[in-house]
């Protein structure tokens, strides 16, 4: 019984660990359609049936409302399948931080606190932070 609860708990923590994981990205730019001059874009990949996407969206909108240098955009991953595949979007919500120059600087998988996104925008590390190049 204890082992069963332990296995379920470990499985839960493994899943939780993947949520809100911030990956610093470099060497990848995005098309002009998805960038805004002078602003950092929070580009959220979402799907129609994704409840966590709806949970995350108001947090990102709030960040964009509070910061004049940030814009929020949501993209349906199914409707933009080619883009999602080219960017390696495997699950929703996945949020990309796109610099004014169109460079993808970070990728956040799943739902995370607003602070995690603000840190990613400002290039500050969060607790769930790793650096890769794609």
By CB under 8 A, what part of segment 89-118 binds other proteins? none
CA distances from 80 to 20, 56, 74, 131 (A): 23, 20, 11, 26
Residues 103-132 as b/e (b if ≥16 CB within 10 A, e otherwise) read ebbbbbbbbbeeebbebbbeeeebebeeee
Which one of the spans 47-55, 64-72, 93-101, 114-122 is the region binding other proteins (CB under 8 A)?
47-55
By CB under 8 A, what part of segment 56-85 binds other proteins? 57-58, 78
Which of 26, 29, 33, 54 contacts other proteins by CB under 8 A? 54
Pairing of strands 70-76, 40-46: parallel
Cβ proximity to other proteins, 25 vs 45, nearer residue: 45
Sites of contact with other proteins (CB under 8 A): 1, 4-5, 7-9, 11-13, 15-16, 47-51, 53-55, 57-58, 78
């Amino acid at each position: 019984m204890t082992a069963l609860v332990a296995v379920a708990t470990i499985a839960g923590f493994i899943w939780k660990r993947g949520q809100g994981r911030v990956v610093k990205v470099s060497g990848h730019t995005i098309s002009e359609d998805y960038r805004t001059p002078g602003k950092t874009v929070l580009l959220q990949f979402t799907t129609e049936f994704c409840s966590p996407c709806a949970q995350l969206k108001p947090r990102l909108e709030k960040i964009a409302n509070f910061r004049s240098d940030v814009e929020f955009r949501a993209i349906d991953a199914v409707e933009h399948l080619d883009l999602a595949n080219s960017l390696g979007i495997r699950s929703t919500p996945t949020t990309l931080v796109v610099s004014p120059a169109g460079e993808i600087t970070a990728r956040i998988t799943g739902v995370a606190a607003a602070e995690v996104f603000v840190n990613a925008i400002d290039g500050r590390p969060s607790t769930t932070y790793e650096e890769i190049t794609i």
